[in-house]
Chain A
Amino acid sequence: AQSVTQLDSQVPVFEEAPVELRCNYSSSVSVYLFWYVQYPNQGLQLLLKYLSGSTLVKGINGFEAEFNKSQTSFHLRKPSVHISDTAEYFCAVSDNYGQNFVFGPGTRLSVLP
Chain B
Amino acid sequence: DAGVTQSPTHLIKTRGQQVTLRCSPKSGHDTVSWYQQALGQGPQFIFQYYEEEERQRGNFPDRFSGHQFPNYSSELNVNALLLGDSALYLCASSWTANYGYTFGSGTRLTVV
Contacts and interface: CB of A to CB of B under 8 A. Distances in A.
Interface of A: 4, 32, 34, 36, 41-46, 49, 51, 90, 92, 94, 96-106
Given A34-B99, A101-B101, A105-B42, 6 more contacts: A41-B105, A43-B104, A98-B94, A98-B99, A100-B58, A103-B35
Contact of B101 (A90, A98, A102): A98
Interface string B92-105: 10100111111111
Contacts, number: 59
Given A43-B4, A43-B90, A102 B45 contact: yes
B112 to A, nearest CB: 20
A106 B94 contact: no
A44 B35 CA distance: 11
Given A43-B105, A44-B90, A103 B48 contact: no
Contacts of B110: none
B63 interface: no
Interface residues of B, number: 26
Nearest to A101: B45
Contact of A46 (B4, B55, B100): B100
A43 B106 CA distance: 6
B73 interface: no
Contact of A105 (B41, B103, B104): B41
B7 interface: no
Contacts of B40: 105-106
Contacts of B24: none
Give the one of B97, B98, B99 with max A CB within 10 A. B99
A72 B44 CA distance: 21
Interface in B12-44: 33, 35, 40-44
B56 interface: yes
Given A32-B99, A44-B90, A103 B44 contact: yes
CB-based closest 9 A-B pairs: A103-B42, A43-B103, A44-B103, A98-B99, A100-B45, A43-B105, A103-B43, A105-B42, A43-B104
